Structure 1
Amino acid sequence: MAQPTVQIEGLDRLREQLQALAPEIEAAAKRTVKESAEAVQAQARQNVRVDTGNLRNELSIDYQDEGLTAVVGWKNRHDWYASIHEHGTSRIPAQPALGPALEEERAKFEERLRQEIRRALR
């Protein structure tokens, strides 16, 4: 009795097409990371406690992994007091700005990424 066989045609062409999409999907991911990082920065700047304006003005974005990772925060060692405002002390009540902005954006990131990838695949 002969064994049934299945032959798939066009697999090489499919592989080539998928490889061609990789740069477009990566670009979509980078756009999403940038858009989300900027949203976190804007929201945190809006909510940070302001005295001199330094914390608001010094909140920065550092892109890593060729734009696939973004770190939003205060990089200057003189901005150590951002942590005090974020978490509070026994004398200073917490007024978190960065944490809530991150959490708000976390809920939006997946949908934002999905939309960017759909746009890239059109």
Structure 2
Amino acid sequence: MARGRSHVTITGLARLRQRLEDLPDELKQALAKGVKESAEAVRDDVKRNVPVDTSGRDNRHLKDTVDIRYRDDDLVADVGWFDQQDFYAVFVERGTRRQAAQPTLHPALERERGQYRARLTEEVRRALR
């Protein structure tokens, strides 16, 4: 994660972009559905686990503003905080000299990592039936 960023990116085979162009629309939609399910799982995990109070700062706002942005025909999902008013999410996630890190975004991504491939595989299988 680049310095100062407070979101992660979930990609749906972005490296195979040229090959995706040749896929039938049904398969592209299936892959996009798998990406969406994984992105929503990460977002929901973050909402459940973001610390509510750290060092006197109320972080309930972070629960409400974690979001998903899709791009590349919904095959890429960025999950995290995108508004300027949520700049402090990076401090909660990574910590500071005075505050220990309380990461929620990366642990949520790691928990979803095992499910991601299975989600994509299942959606493609459904589309091929």
Q: TM range, normalised to the smaller chain?
A: 0.7 to 0.9
Count of aligned residue pairs for this structure pair: 103
- Tell me which residue corresponds to 1:79: 86
1:53 aligns with 2:55: no
- Tell me which residue corresponds to 1:89: 96
- Tell me which residue corresponds to 1:10: none
Give RMSD over aligned pairs. 1.3
Q: Once the two structures are aligned, what percentage of the paired residues are identical?
A: 48
**Unmatched segments (≥5 aa) in structure 2:** 1-21, 53-57
In the TM superposition, what whole-angstrom CA distance separates every residue of 1:68-89 from its partner, at most 9, and x where no partner exists? Answer: 1100010111111101110111
1:64 aligns with 2:66: no
**More helix per residue:** 1
In the TM superposition, what whole-angstrom CA distance separates every residue of 1:11-60 from its partner, at most 9, and x where no partner exists? Answer: xxxxxxxx7x6111101001001100000000011111112511000101
TM-score normalised by L of structure 2? 0.76
**Structure 1 outlier segments of 4+, above 6 Å:** none
Q: In structure 2, give the amino acid aligned to 1:22.
A: P
**Unmatched segments (≥5 aa) in structure 1:** 1-18
TM-score normalised by L of structure 1? 0.80
| Equivalent residue runs for 1:9-28 within 5 Å | 22-28=24-30
**More strand per residue:** 2
